[in-house]
Structure 1
Amino acid sequence: MTDKESDATETESPVVLAVDNEKRVVQAFELWLNDDYSVETATSGQEALNQMHDGVDVVLLDRHMPGLSGEDVLEGIRKQGYDCHVAMVTAVDPDFDIVEMPFDYYVSKPVDEPTLQSIITELLELREYEDKVSELYRVCQKITTLEAKKPRQRLNEDERYQELLEARETLQATTRELVTTREMSAFEDIFEAKQ
Structure 2
Amino acid sequence: MKTGNKIKLFLVDDDAVFLKALQIQFMENDDFEVETFSTGELCIQNLNKKPDIVVLDYHLDGIVKNAINGMQTLDKIKETNAGIPVIMLSSQDKIEVAVSCMHHKAFDYVVKSETAFVRLQKVISNIFKYQKMEKELNWYMDRM
Q: Same fold (TM over 0.5)?
A: yes
Percent of pairs with identical residues: 19
The structure that has the greater radius of gyration is 1
2:130 to 123, 126, 130: 126
Structure 1 alignment gaps of length 5 or more: 1-10, 145-195
**1:94 maps to which residue?**
95
Q: Which runs of structure 1 show a deviation greater than 2 angstroms over 4 or more consecutive aligned residues? A: 96-100, 131-138
TM-score (norm: length of structure 1): 0.60
Post-superposition offset of 1:54:
6.2
**In the TM superposition, what are the counterparts of 1:70-89 in structure 2 within 5 Å?**
70-89=70-89
Post-superposition offset of 1:137:
2.6
- The one of the two structures with greater contact order (alpha-carbon pairs below 8 A, sep at least 6) is 2
Deviations 1:16-36 (A, max 9, x none): 111101122221111111222
Q: Is the 8 A contact 1:88 1:106 kept in 2?
A: yes
- Compared CA separation, residues 135 and 27, structure 1 to 2 (3 A): farther
Larger strand share, 1 or 2: 2
Larger helix share, 1 or 2: 1
TM-score (norm: length of structure 2): 0.79
Equivalenced residues, count: 130
Q: Is the 8 A contact 2:14 2:60 kept in 1?
A: yes
Structure 2 alignment gaps of length 5 or more: 62-66
2:102 is the counterpart of 1:107: no
Q: Give the 3-state SS of the residue equivalent to 1:56 in structure 2.
A: coil
Q: Is the 8 A contact 2:56 2:86 kept in 1?
A: yes
